[in-house]
Structures are given as structure tokens and as C-alpha cells.
Chain A
């Protein structure tokens, strides 16, 4: 594209429109988090009547936010870790080996994405409680149940992304490593994974973001002790008041880890995602 004046005005207009569209809600979020309660109960004002950080302080007590934060971190962290490991192994198998059932596996796994999540809820609950009855491992009302659920939700897309990425890494690298005496798994660890780092980062970010933001299953599968942020944020509308300023403050705080992580790793994320689409 040449830098004609036509292009420059196109660019300016686009950036202005999209800039406003993106920024205004973020601005509302940030300023409302610094407003006293009466500001957010009345007509919207562009600037707080008095800047206060009390929402950031009160939000930890109105709702046990710290506990929910910790639960979300644990659940999302482990779900991500497990999802990445399983996806790497599976994608490596699909990309590097031909075996019977390969296409069945890929097609089935990807088609699971089409089934509406709401319908999994009750059957999944049934299965979890049956496992509990049979083996004593508690899955409902435990973080483990959520971890297992989330890692499985993110597996299909992760596997697809990684297969695309692994496919783009020349087989010669593996072969060279194996000629040197590595097993295939060794080749994976030593050669393929380092070359696939952007893809792995993409999968990790995707899994973390999914687990961090999931609402429906978290509301059913957790109890008070292991509730996550996604459900906990709804508790700011209590019987007596809707604490909008605290909701905004809490939303900001819970978004920080995900947003920062995403932005730092955006290049890798892009490379990983488009590997499957472009290459």
C-alpha cells in the first residue's frame, strides 16, 4: 500500500473511529472504578466528583475476592499446564505419525466444538458424581473437576493449532536429531518444541483465557470454597445495592493478569494461531 494522501486520510479516519470505539468503554471502566458510590448511581459523569480508591479497597470485603482470585489462578494455571502437555503430545502424534484412526481422531475431536456447552452440563455432572461414587475422587465442588473440564474444553483447538504449527516445522529437524540417537520423544523435546515455541505459547494463552473467563460450568461445579472469579463477580449485586464502582474496580483487577500476559506474548499468539490458517 502506498502512502498516498487518500491512504493517509483513510488511516486517520479508521484509527480515530476504532480508537474511540475501543477506548470509551475502557475509560468508563477505569473512571468508574475511582468514583464514589453515589456517582455510579446517578447520571454518568465523565469525571468522578471526587477521585477515590475506596472501591479498590472495599471490593475485597464485599465479596471474598482474594479467595476467588486464588481459585481462578489455581484452576486456570493447572488447566493450562495440563492442556498444553496433552495437546503437545497429541499434536506430535498426529503431525509426525501415520496410524490407524488418525483421521477419525482429528475429525471427532474438532467436531466436539460444535456441541452447545449448555447441554454438557447435566451429563457431565452425572458422570462426575458417578466417578465420585465409584472411586471416591471428588470432582464436583472441587477445583479438580473444573481443571479437568477446562483442559478438555481447550484441547481440540489447542491440538489443531499445534498440529498446524508442528506441520510447518520441517521433518528434517526431527530426522537429524534421531540420526544423532534421539528417540522420537527426545526429538520432540529437544528440537520440535523449541522451534514451536510461539505455537505452544499461543495454546497456553488460549487455554488460560478460556479457563479464566468461563462462567456457566464454574457456577454449577463450584461451591463457596472453590468459587472462581467468573462467578464471584456476580455477587457484587447484593440484596441492598448494586456496587457498580466496585464491580468496575474488580473487573479491572481481574483482567490485569490476562491482559498483560496476552499483550506481552501477542506476537507469539499471532504466529501460533495463524500457523494453522496460513501455512
Chain B
């Protein structure tokens, strides 16, 4: 009798385990016919909106319209940036993952090197509407030079210098056009006693830090990788560029040392929107956050991030989100037709506003803001004052090593230490060594 009771308990648990397995979501897709109709695609979207739920709400009607058009169902999952890279890695390792996914466009070359993503050869390009429909600078980020790209642009983003109009007017300042002007303006607007600073930086965020290492280095004419793909982090131009950015907190003292704790851009944007700082450096999708924190869009203006006098006019790297297809997809045609749909002018117009994105298609006007002056400024920045982050396989390691080195340097400055050019060079050398080791060089 006891044995029966025991076996009963065991079988109930087994059954229960089976039940929990059945009632969970699925990450595999089912194949479809040659035209793709009747197939199901799994799509991993990144967090572009105000929350993961918000992304879902924005995308679902767009995806439903696609299903109506083509009969292809799309299983959507929105993944936060914290987890996206790890999820992609595990998908690549196991060979089981989504069909289509968003990637940060700076990851494109690194991911291409894994060989797990479908190259957009001429046939595939035609299937998605042809490569000429894209802004060339944006398309260039799709992969390494000389190879078929493994991703195409989906949303465009660019950095701009946001400034508080009222504060500038009250101090009799014009929006800055050179780095020196910008620092002078920031100094004038910094009143530490009132907790008012010229700038707020996400100094604890390795992604933000490396972006500015790149931009400042490029303004000096520096390169982070040579033609052979070997890292050249320690060049003088790069060292000086990084030091210049660190000096905003260190010698210019226009940044609150507490910013060294800001591990994402949101916190800096909050400071700007609540009037604690006069300027921030952000991608154009800051508009949503600024407005939702109570500042009106007429209260701030945007200019390109200025270079030092005599430096190259680089105001941003070409930021944005690209769309990739995994090689392991069972419904290639459906996936490509989905990519075509997502990069079509109509879908782009629908999505650019809630996701505050710049158009990646030629000839389109930005819709992410109603402020036409701002829209034009960003479009100019994106098209004429931008440079792609290094298109090499080790790009992601460049980001994490250099970015983290800078976070550590900011922390040193914030806690009372000093950072010299030699310190910067040595930190960049460490980063360079790690990248060399990781690429088997």
C-alpha cells in the first residue's frame, strides 16, 4: 500500500513536470512553404521604447499587419539590453534561436565573424528591396568592408548636444560650435553650491564611455584599429581624446563627480530634464525621456557635438539598430520578406516615432520629433558628421575593454585621484592587450 502511494506521488510529479513544460513559450520556429506562407517566425526585438512592454505594444499591430499581408505569423519577444548579448551567444552556440533579430549595429562585424548569420548577398538584397534604398552610411555598418553584410539598418540614431535654452539665454550664451566654446559655456553654468552643473555624463556606463572615446579620438584624427585589424588604442590622438573627455570632470569640473555612478544614460537625461544640468550628450532618442520627465520640447535645443578648433568635424558615430537573420532559420523566404516589410518606408514611418529613430532609408524626413529644426540638425549630423565604429570582428571587445577602462578612470577621478595622460595610455594598453589575447593575435 505504501509502495502504491509512493508510486502515485512519483507519477504525479512526473505529470506535473510535463505540464509545466507544455505550458511555456517556444523559441523554435516552424518551416513554411517555398513562399513562406503559413510559416511562423520568431523575432527578437531590442528595447527601443520606454519599457519592454511599451515595445511590445508598439510592435504588435505592425506585426499583425504583416501577418495579414503575407500569412506569416510572427512570435515576438522583446529582450532588454542587459540580456540581449548573452541570449544571442547562447543562440549561436546551440544553433537554436530566433529567425530574425535586432542587433546593436556596432555589433554587426563581431557577429558576422561568428558565421551564424545570413549574409545579404545580391539575391537576398533584392528580396528585401535592394540595397540602394538605404542611406549609404547606415548600410556600411552592416558588416566588414569587402564582405556581404549580415545585417541591414533598421533604426538610425545619432548623438547630439542637448542644451537648456533658458539657462543659456539667462547667461547670455549662444549654443557652442567648438569644444572650447562648449567648455567655457559649461563652466559659466556650473554652480556646485546649488548642485547645478554644466554637464551630466553617464560616466559609469561603459557603452557611453567608449562611444565618446571613439568620437573624441576621431575628432583628433585617431583610429582604433589599423588596416590589418590590429588594435591601435594607445595612439596619441586616442589618448588625448579620452583625456579631454575625462577632464570635463577632472580639470574643467563641469561634471558632478556623482556621475561616475551613472551606469546608463537614463540618469543623465533625468538630471537634464529636471534642470540640474545645462547640457547632456545623448542619442536622439532622449526626446521621449526628456519630455516624459516634464520638460517641454521647446525648452531645449540640439547642436552637433563640437570638435576642438582645427579638429575633424565628427559629431557622432553611426548609431542604430540593424536587422539580422540567423543562418539556422527554417523559413528563409519568410524571414527575408519580414525584413523587407520592416525596412519598407511605411513601416519605418510608423516605428520611427515611438522609438525616436532617424530614418535609414534615403529621402525620408525624420518623424521622431515635431521640432523641425531639431529634426534637420540630427539628419545633418547623421549624414555628414558621422563615422562608423570600427568594422572589425573585435569591435565588441573594443567596446567592453576600453569602456570599462574609462569607467574605472572616472571612478578614480570622482573619488579624489588624478588621471594623467600616462595613466590613460596605460589603461588603454591593458585594454589593447586583452583584445589581442581574445582574438588569438
Contact = CB atoms under 8 A, between A and B. Distances in A.
A223 interface: yes
Contact of B3 (A62, A85, A121, A186): A186
Contact of A239 (B27, B50, B82): B50
Given A185-B6, A223-B27, A235-B80, A142 B270 contact: no
B62 interface: no
B51 A235 contact: yes
A37 to B, nearest CB: 11
A3 interface: no
B304 to A, nearest CB: 23
B23 A143 contact: yes
A85 B10 contact: yes
B147 interface: no
Contacts of B87: 220
Contacts of A240: 50-51, 266, 269, 288-289, 292-293
B94 A147 contact: no
A168 interface: no
A189 interface: yes
B93 A78 contact: no
A217 B293 CA distance: 35
Given A64-B53, A138-B26, A224-B77, A129 B2 contact: no
A165 B281 CA distance: 62
A225 B6 CA distance: 33
A121 B89 CA distance: 11
B13 interface: yes
A217 B78 CA distance: 18
Given A78-B13, A223-B77, A241 B24 contact: no
Nearest to A185: B3
Contacts of B9: 85
A116 B89 CA distance: 19
Interface centre among A81, A142, A190 (most CB of B within 10 A): A142
Contacts of B26: 138, 141
B301 interface: no
Interface centre among B52, B77, B292 (most CB of A within 10 A): B52
Contacts of A133: 96
A262 to B, nearest CB: 23
Interface in B69-119: 77-78, 80, 82-83, 86-87, 89-90, 93-96
- Which range contains the number of B residues in contact with the other chain? 35 or more
B291 to A, nearest CB: 10
B51 A238 contact: yes
A242 interface: yes
Contacts of A235: 51-52, 80
Interface string B1-41: 01101100110010011101101111110000000000000
B132 to A, nearest CB: 33
Nearest to B56: A224
B344 interface: no
A143 B2 contact: no
A62 B51 contact: yes
B216 to A, nearest CB: 25
Given A138-B24, A220-B86, A239 B47 contact: yes
B293 A241 contact: yes
Contacts of A112: none
Interface string A114-154: 00000001100110111011000111111110011000000
A239 B80 CA distance: 10
Minimum-distance CB pairs A-B, first 6: A225-B25, A129-B94, A144-B21, A142-B24, A141-B27, A189-B2
Given A41-B270, A240-B51, 9 more contacts: A63-B52, A129-B94, A144-B18, A190-B2, A220-B83, A234-B82, A235-B52, A238-B51, A241-B270
Interface of B: 2-3, 5-6, 9-10, 13, 16-18, 20-21, 23-28, 47, 49-53, 77-78, 80, 82-83, 86-87, 89-90, 93-96, 264, 266-267, 269-270, 288-289, 292-293
24 contacts: A63-B53, A78-B17, A81-B16, A125-B93, A126-B93, A137-B21, A139-B21, A141-B25, A142-B25, A143-B20, A143-B23, A147-B20, A148-B17, A182-B2, A219-B83, A223-B77, A224-B25, A224-B77, A225-B24, A238-B266, A239-B266, A240-B50, A240-B269, A241-B292
